[in-house]
Amino acid sequence: MAALTDADLYLRGAKTLLASWQEYARAVTGAAVQRLPGVATAVFPSGPERAVYNNALLERDLAAAARAEALDAMESTYAAAGVAHFAAWVHESDTAMRGDLERRGYTFAESTRAMGMVLDDLRLPPPQIELGRPDWSEYLRIVGVPPGFLGGADWTAFHILLARLGGENVATAMAFDHGDDCGIYNVGTLERARRRGLGTALTVLQAHDALGRGCRTASLQSTEMAEHIYAAVGFRDLGRFLEYVP
């Protein structure tokens, strides 16, 4: 099988990201992911999820007319849902789309690093850590979201890992498979248990578990602070997602 390029890994990760948003939407009344020409919009019009998941992922390197069509569709979709606060995700290399957003009055808010890897390139062995029983409520507690967040989710659609320390669940990482790509999301550790490598260990374990499930690649979005950790695991830098807000 041909080697996967960075562009291949980016497209795989983007598809998995959108599929994960679609799974979240099934848990929230009125929420949906709409795949429109040049853009996919995650619309969460109610509940605590409204503040987190109203995101739109714009396709890269569109022609000028297609960029305008995508932005018009994005804005119309959120306006129809009564959602005024959302984030438009654009790849940092897409200077044309960034310019279009800025001319429409959008401003840069924050960014994450898109990263991906071929799982055969895993650089670290499975870690030896104490794991807790997979539990959706414990996952939500450690991630730190409001009560009732994604309360209607089918948690069996996700792969939850919990790391224990001193008899307590203190760190978590969630994975979601789409095709043969595994998205690794929401790696988090309670403050009192940080700087012990638990987040890294759970990421490595999720990657090994994904390989065991038959996945070929893994993808994630990293904060700046964690980029070097994921690189040490074997993840490649695929460029930043820039989030623009109206």
Q: How many CA atoms lie within 13 A of 159 on its CB side?
A: 19
Residue 168 belongs to a domain: yes
Q: Residue 148's pLDDT is what?
A: 81
Domain presence at residue 174: yes
pLDDT of 116: 98
**Tens digits of residue pLDDT in 2-15:** 789 999 999 999 99
Cβ pair 58, 38 in contact under 8 A? yes
Mean pLDDT of 119-133: 93
CA angle 118, 9, 32 (to 5 degrees): 120
Q: According to the model, what pLDDT value does residue 91 have?
A: 98
Cβ-count burial of 151 within 10 angstroms (0-12 exposed, 13-18 middle, 19+ buried)?
middle
| pTM score of the predicted model | 0.94
DSSP 146: P
- Residue 216, SS3 per DSSP: coil
Give CA separation, 28 vs 45, 76, 78, 135, in Å: 9, 21, 16, 20
State the total domains in the chain.
Answer: 2
Q: What is the pLDDT of residues 53-104, one digit of tens each?
A: 999 999 999 999 999 999 999 999 999 999 999 999 999 999 999 999 999 9
Cβ neighbourhood burial of 83 (10 Å; 0-12, 13-18, 19+)? middle
Mean per-residue pLDDT of the chain? 95
Q: Which two tokens stand for residue 186?
A: 């929401």
Q: What is the largest CA-CA distance in the chain?
A: 58
| Pair 100, 181 in one domain | no
> Coil, strand, or helix at residue 229?
helix
pLDDT at 102: 98
Q: Is there a single domain that holds both residue 175 and residue 200?
A: yes
146 and 79 share one domain: no
Q: Which helix (H) or strand (E) holds 6?
A: helix 6-25
Evaluate whether residue 106 is within a structural domain. yes
Helix, strand, coil percentages for the chain (3-state, nearest 5): 35, 30, 30
**In this predicted structure, what is the pLDDT of residue 164?**
96
Number of neighbours of residue 167 by Cβ within 10 angstroms:
8
Is 138 within the bounds of a domain?
A: yes
Q: Place 146 in a pLDDT band, splitting at 50, 70 and 90.
A: confident
pLDDT of residue 152: 85
pLDDT for res 2? 72
**DSSP count for the chain of H helices, then E strands:** 6, 10
In the predicted model, what is the mean pLDDT of residues 203-217? 97
Boundaries of domain holding 123: 118-238
Domain membership of residue 245 (yes or no) is no
246 lies in a domain?
no
Q: What is the mean pLDDT of residues 202-214?
A: 97
Report the percentage of the chain scoring pLDDT > 90. 91
Average pLDDT over residues 178-199: 94
Model confidence at 1: pLDDT above 60: no
Q: Tell me the CB-side half-sphere exposure of residue 13, using CA atoms within 13 A.
A: 28
Q: Which two tokens stand for residue 136?
A: 């959706």
What per-residue confidence (pLDDT) applies to 153?
87
